[in-house]
Amino acid sequence: MVAKIALEEHCMTPGLIEYWQPTMTDVPAAVADKVLGRLTDYSGERIEIMDRAGITRSILAIAGPGVQAERDPSTAVKRARESNDQLAAQIAKTPKRLGAFAHLAVQDAKAAADELERCVKQLGFHGAMINGHTRGLYLDDASVYPLWERAEALGVPIYIHPTDPVVPAPVLDGTKGIRRATWEWGFETGSHALRLVFGGTFDRFPKAKLILGHLGETLPYLLWRFDSRAKLYGVQLKRQPSDYIKDNIWVTLSGMYSAEPLQCAIAALGRDRVMFSADYPFEDAEGAGRFMDSTPMAEDLRKAVAHDHAARLLGLTS
């Protein structure tokens, strides 16, 4: 069993449950209760499952949408700070097993930047996870530049986690099972990342670090197409879109435990850009661990994907 660092591991703090509950309306109540129990468990079953999966450390983040759904900016800022303090207190009980991404109120980018710095320097967090758009505000917007500037200066990544689109895509109407996690979230999140690429965010902040789950939300498989169409439509960037995707973006395995897309992501992005995650409790962490242990690959690459790339990116020393 190879040692693993897991990067898309979800949790919940009391003041944010009201934002999460509407996302579970199509799930049986008993299942939602079980998931909430696991989200709010930091030292019991969570650690036991990590042990069985070979996960030495989990980097926790608030299950979406969190304060990304809050209408009032001041309330969002307050609740994000409270949540980060509560999460830090939980992590302090098992600091060698758990870490965290900061929860940020993008409604006020200056406050979000200050909170990110506080979380990194005072609480020991490893970056931030943003649960998609913030009431329609995407991370390429000029109002968010203070957050990117601070993240770049701190040298920490921002992880974009999927969320529901602002308006459900009509093309998905009338067909059961293809909304949300099946297809809609991947399209939404991949589009969010492409806004950053094509909108010049990485020209403005060349050292910015972005993480995407699900092996890159389909982006690694379309690099040639992005470059070709950017040239066709006269997109003005300093480099080709694929260069930014290869240099500024890292991807994790969350919810994509299949050899073929894993191999494709490694080939497209480079071996140092792909990292393990389990997506607990929304995915089977033990199953993810078994996949990482058994999928065909060279053993040095297995160790790097499972552990070393994340340790290097996040500056983890043990």
Longest CA pairwise span in the chain (Å) = 54
State how far the Cα of 160 lies from the Cα of 147, in Å rounded to an integer: 14
* pLDDT for 25: 84
Residues 30, 31, 32, 35, Cα dihedral to 10°: 120
**Structural domains in the chain, sorted by start:** 4-314 (3.20.20.140)
In the chain, alpha helices (H): 17-20, 29-39, 45-53, 73-91, 109-121, 145-154, 184-198, 201-204, 214-217, 223-232, 241-248, 259-269, 285-294, 299-303, 309-314
User: pLDDT per position in the chain (318 positions), as tens?
Assistant: 999 999 999 999 999 999 999 988 888 999 999 999 999 999 999 999 999 999 999 999 999 999 999 999 999 999 999 999 999 999 999 999 999 999 999 999 999 999 999 999 999 999 999 999 999 999 999 999 999 999 999 999 999 999 999 999 899 999 989 999 999 999 999 999 999 999 999 999 999 999 999 999 999 999 999 999 999 999 999 999 999 999 999 999 999 999 999 999 999 999 999 999 999 999 999 999 999 999 999 999 999 999 999 999 999 976
Helix (H) or strand (E) holding 10: strand 4-11
108, 140, 164, 279: which is the annotated catalytic residue?
A: 279
What would the DSSP string read from start to end of 253-312?
-TT---HHHHHHHHHHH-GGGEE----TTTS-HHHHHHHHHHSSS-HHHHHIIIIIHHHH
Quote the pLDDT of residue 69: 97
279 is catalytic: yes
Can you give the pLDDT at residue 318? 61
